[in-house]
Chain A
């Protein structure tokens, strides 16, 4: 469907108001298949709000979001995931009492299905599908370098591993577009380095587009092919990493007047 010519995600004049406050305004954005895009900006610039708009946690006040050729107006959070957008959260949201493996398995909820009847009465369909879910989940754990933790309860994981598990769980929904909200937050330079490698691998292996919010400029400049800069809810600049780094407006926004 989407190739490198037609965008997988097209955002037009997107805006949202909370009460009288405009959190995001007049945002245009296009993401093409197999791109890694950065969304940066000072604190409070509305980056996470953009993610919440894209995943329908909030309904936009203005503008449109076209994903994979379809208008997303009227869709729910669940619909959006089924359509092919998966995300991680800035404040990690795992299923704390489930094991790492089960967290990932849960991600396959809509892609590998069998009925509750075949689950309760253990019909043959159950075993075949469960084996498939297990195989694919372990593969994702391998990719995100979490195999050693498979049977650990997610709530007991080290911080960095929790962030990687969120990515693995999101990937289990087999998305076309992956949204990462500060994936490297709280990681040390070595962990960040490893994470960059994994993100690239995920993109290459699954051939998906990735949009990420990040404050770690080493990561952003290192792996993003294009960057959007948000300030006070509006687009301040967009372009290649080198262009963004030398853009005086961006520097001003970050350093203040």
Chain B
């Protein structure tokens, strides 16, 4: 029997066009927004949304690699963002005063990314032994575990150095000392060093990584393992290894996004990165089209900004997202519509 995987609408014949469109969209959006920002034509509400939007873009591009390209449902992307966010906040807090803001931001993002990649690798070892629904539910469990662990983590710094404690909050800080992570209260007193330019550069970085990976030996192996596991093994592809690659890269992009996100707010609680945030990112990816990066870009921006700008929609936002998820799945898997679409596509070609 042939496996049905037709929801993956990867336009491989238009590969170069897809990439060009992505980079052009990002560049045009950046220039317009930056000009408006510098000339003071952007409302403070909108200005405040710019960095978070780029963070969600990066996390969503990463998740699309995992769900769309690798075909494994990951319900713990927010957990990886949390790892990046809190490690990034710590790095920035520790280096405050010693390193200027820009290199400190870069360093925080790099550390957040690498640490998350490592955490992703550790989690990936058990997770990727599973398939399908089980894999999804375990990523969900891990997301919850990560969030719970961070909520019990205490990190503080004072003149005597860095203090780390788990569950027990028993530091006796010297004067001038402060908490970087304060258990359930999360990160407090973070210096806000994130900015829109850094966010845009991170989006470009994510695009470069994902596109270059997809159109390579490793990317083909990842998609082969998704389309037909047994056939992929029969031509010598190590499934665990290729899935791990997609999983770790996806996680590390979420970690980088998290670091930027954490450094954009003076306070941040771990529960911000709960299951709902993971689902939110998943909605962006699903609406944009699994495996379709341009779709992810557009869907993320529209779904992130629209409800914020149309306040009336705010209450109904989540309900609308839920309906979107269901309808997209019903429409893209409808046999009648699918044949209609393939007829259209053939006519075009």
* A residues whose Cβ falls under 8 Å from a Cβ of B: 55, 57, 77-78, 81-82, 86-87, 89, 91-99, 102-103, 105-110, 112-114, 116, 119-122, 126, 129-130, 133, 151, 153, 155-156, 169-170, 172-173
Instruction: Give Cα A172 to B224, complex, Å.
Output: 14
Let me know if A95 and B219 touch, CB within 8 A: no
Q: How far is the CB of A109 from chain B (nearest CB, A)?
A: 5
Residue of A nearest to B239 (CB): A78
CB-CB contacts below 8 Å: B268-282 with A:
none
Are A173 and B220 CB-contacts (below 8 A) given A94-B228, A95-B227? no
* B residues whose Cβ falls under 8 Å from a Cβ of A: 1-3, 5-6, 8, 10, 12-13, 208-209, 212-213, 216-221, 223-224, 226-228, 230-238, 245, 291, 342
The residue in A93, A99, A108 that gathers the most chain B C-beta atoms within 10 A of its C-beta is A93
- B236's contact among A81, A103, A121, by CB below 8 Å, is which? A81
Residue of B nearest to A156 (CB): B342
Are A78 and B216 CB-contacts (below 8 A) given A97-B223, A98-B12, A120-B209? no
Residue of A nearest to B10 (CB): A97
Instruction: Please name all residues of chain B whose beta carbon is closer than 8 Å to the beta carbon of A112 when the two chains form the complex.
Output: 217
The residue in B209, B213, B217, B237 that gathers the most chain A C-beta atoms within 10 A of its C-beta is B217
Instruction: Give Cα A35 to B194, complex, Å.
Output: 67
Let me know if B235 and A172 touch, CB within 8 A: yes
Let me know if B236 and A82 touch, CB within 8 A: yes
Instruction: Give Cα A87 to B233, complex, Å.
Output: 11
Q: How far is the CB of B271 from chain A (nearest CB, A)?
A: 33
Let me know if A91 and B2 touch, CB within 8 A: yes
Instruction: Give Cα A57 to B224, complex, Å.
Output: 18
Let me know if A110 and B2 touch, CB within 8 A: no
- A119's contact among B213, B226, B238, by CB below 8 Å, is which? B213
Let me know if B217 and A169 touch, CB within 8 A: no
The residue in A98, A133, A170 that gathers the most chain B C-beta atoms within 10 A of its C-beta is A98
The residue in B226, B228, B235 that gathers the most chain A C-beta atoms within 10 A of its C-beta is B235
New A-B contacts (6) at CB < 8 Å, excluding given A102-B223, A130-B217: A78-B236, A92-B2, A93-B231, A95-B228, A97-B6, A99-B12
Let me know if B13 and A110 touch, CB within 8 A: no
Let me know if B217 and A119 touch, CB within 8 A: yes
Instruction: Give Cα A126 to B211, complex, Å.
Output: 14
Q: How far is the CB of A105 from chain B (nearest CB, A)?
A: 6
Let me know if A122 and B212 touch, CB within 8 A: yes
Instruction: Please name all residues of chain B whose beta carbon is closer than 8 Å to the beta carbon of A102 when the two chains form the complex.
Output: 12, 220, 223
Instruction: Please name all residues of chain B whose beta carbon is closer than 8 Å to the beta carbon of A151 when the two chains form the complex.
Output: 13
Instruction: Please name all residues of chain A whose beta carbon is closer than 8 Å to the beta carbon of B236 when the two chains form the complex.
Output: 78, 81-82, 109-110, 173
Instruction: Give Cα A114 to B220, complex, Å.
Output: 13
Instruction: Please name all residues of chain A whose beta carbon is closer than 8 Å to the beta carbon of B12 when the two chains form the complex.
Output: 97-99, 102, 153
Are A97 and B234 CB-contacts (below 8 A) given A113-B217, A120-B208? no
Q: How far is the CB of A78 from chain B (nearest CB, A)?
A: 5
Let me know if A109 and B233 touch, CB within 8 A: no
Closest 10 CB pairs of A and B: A119-B216, A81-B236, A93-B231, A95-B227, A77-B233, A110-B236, A106-B220, A106-B224, A95-B224, A93-B228
